[in-house]
Amino acid sequence: MAQNTGKARKAKAPSATRRLRLGLGVMLTLLLVVGGKLFLVQGIDVGGMAEAALQNRLTPVELPAERGSILDANGTVLASSVIRYNVVVDQRVNTKTETFRRFDEVTEKHVKVSRDQGISELAVLLGMDQKTLKDAVTGTQPYYIVAKDIKPDVEDRISKLQIPGIVTVGTSKRVYPNGSVAGGIVGFLRDGTTGQAGLEQTQDEVLKGVPGKRLFEIGADGLRIPVGVDQLTPAVNGKDIKLTLNSDLQYFAQQAIQSQRDKLSAEWGVVIVQDIKTGDIVAMADTNSPDPNDPGKVDAQDRGIRAVTAAYEPGSVEKMITAAALIEEGKSSPLEKFTIPPSYTVDGQTFNDSFAHGTEDRTLAGILGWSMNTGTVMAGQRLSKEQRYNWLKKFGIGEAPDVGLPAEAKGILTPHEQWDGRQEYTVLFGQGVSQSTLQTVRAFQSIGNNGVMLQPRLIDSYIAPDGTVEKVPAQDPRQIVSPDTARQVRDILESAVTEGQIKEAGLDGYRVGAKTGTSQSPCDDGTAGFCGFTASMVGMAPMDDPRFIVEVVLQRPKGDIYGISNGPVFRSVLSQALRTYNVPPSTGEPVRLPQYAK
């Protein structure tokens, strides 16, 4: 029996060993499977699970680029940006958080803070009622803006509260320190981000720069993981834009034209001051100029820049082009004699002057000096219709100045083949053609600059964030007439002031040349006929070495049009420009071409 028992025990031993080996094998197999799975998930991540989990933890924050500033010619800030912050909450995280850990910079230890305490501290910083704030941070929305326009010092204190689910997002706020000074030119933003008017609109891509981005990991408690992903793509700030405008002169011009507009109850008024030698626009003033900080305070039609957008019949200021064409073509001269009847008829079309007169012997200078339509048609008919059209075109009529502003008017210059029997003559004295104030100024600039027309300049340069300056040169200088023709036309313009009808344009100490214009203004409602007048005066000084052009325009002033004068605004703005730029007084004797022929 004993022997049999021993054999039985020996028979059971191998069986136990096998079971042990089998168990170890199963365990090793399971470890291999689990290890392999872990390797696949965490190492190879065939299914993308780890990557998906990482993406869920990553939080992107846009870093706004600082919008470039707009400066005047002397560096005065007309538009700039300041950094502000929005306080944003992920309500899902904040709602679930009863307590959180905060690093105490004094003790250099983490302390436990209740959610209510954090909300109370945040409410104080935001100046909000605690219950209102608690309601705002409680809910299921992943992105809810709690407060806007927070200054950087307050944002820093909010960040130090370290409340889960609460982050600050940087934004850029646009400010306009000079208010309505050049307000229409500078323009404003839509929703605080995108240019909607003026240079803010046309130069938006240059000004706004390229936003950056920061990407970091957030844990389940809403706090940043210290050793997690933290990627930074810096923002590229926008460029500054330096203008040719002088903000002091701009302010003066705006005040002058606004006062005249209000005095005469005109619909609107415009003043432009241009440097003849460079083409720089140093002032371009509209009435009712908007304050970009609050553009809604003025009517929508006042938010643009009528100096470039409003096209109208210029009237007699266009006679300068007729005179220049006649002289350049060799068809007349300033002292040529013309016998002018009380009215003049050609091809069945009769023309009269704004004042009654008998038959008179006038010089070409006298025809312009007294703004006679009769004499202008008599002399101008020596030019063919094609020549009349080509000279208007050559002086830039029908071509937008392109100074970088929105909706610049080309005006209307109908091809000469389409002119009717009257229009072919009225274009000689500025009717049947339309143009903007800046187009008229550009034409006169070429006469002041010895016949060379310069592209008007409003943008002087672009300044990169690193300080690199990209100068915008004067573009496309064109010799319109010869220097001698330009000089003769200047003599005619000066004689209109010294001997002619425009003595009100005279300025003590400076020789001045000028021309006035009056035209009927078509009704805005589309009905036939005319509704008022457009009155303008354009001139330059000093005539011994022309430096500045000034044009003043009033649309539909009330009262007797022949009693309305732009002279006071013209003189005050021209005088201010000459003083601002320290232009020395004239030294030579003024030109006095006779107005009557002997």
Asked if pLDDT for residue 47 goes beyond 70, the answer is no
Burial environment of residue 510 by CB neighbours within 10 A (0 to 12, 13 to 18, 19 or more)? buried
Where residue 55 falls among pLDDT bands split at 50, 70, 90?
low
Phi, psi of 176 (to 5 degrees): -130, 90
Residue written as token pair 């009257």: 422
The stretch 477-494 carries a mean pLDDT of: 98
Pairing label, strands 452-453, 58-63? unpaired
DSSP string covering 68-109, please? PPEE-TT--EEEEEEEEEEEEE-HHHHHH-SEEEEEETTTTE
Interacting residues of 579 by C-beta distance below 8 A, sequence separation 6+: none
Q: How many CB atoms lie within 10 A of CB 427?
A: 26
Asked if pLDDT for residue 187 goes beyond 90, the answer is yes
Cα separation values, 316 from 160, 353, 360, 436, Å: 70, 11, 20, 14
User: What whole-number distance in Å separates Cα of residue 460 and Cα of residue 470?
Assistant: 9
The stretch 34-54 carries a mean pLDDT of: 58
Where residue 230 falls among pLDDT bands split at 50, 70, 90?
low
The stretch 12-21 carries a mean pLDDT of: 65
Burial environment of residue 81 by CB neighbours within 10 A (0 to 12, 13 to 18, 19 or more)? buried
Tens of pLDDT, residue by residue over 340-352, are: 999 999 999 999 9
Where residue 83 falls among pLDDT bands split at 50, 70, 90?
confident
Tens of pLDDT, residue by residue over 86-123, are: 999 999 888 888 898 888 877 888 889 999 999 999 99
The stretch 487-499 carries a mean pLDDT of: 98
Question: pLDDT at position 229, please?
Answer: 61
Q: Residue 377 is encoded by which pair of tokens?
A: 């048609």
Higher pLDDT, residue 152 or 584: 584
With H, G, I as helix, E, B as strand and everything else as coil, classify residue 144.
strand
Q: Which helix (H) or strand (E) holds 478?
A: strand 478-479
Higher pLDDT, residue 408 or 221: 408
- Highest-confidence range of 59-73, 145-159, 447-461, 468-482, by mean pLDDT? 447-461
Where residue 28 falls among pLDDT bands split at 50, 70, 90?
confident
Question: pLDDT at position 1, please?
Answer: 47
Asked if pLDDT for residue 2 goes beyond 50, the answer is no
Tens of pLDDT, residue by residue over 407-419, are: 999 999 999 999 9
Question: pLDDT at position 42, please?
Answer: 57
Asked if pLDDT for residue 44 goes beyond 80, the answer is no
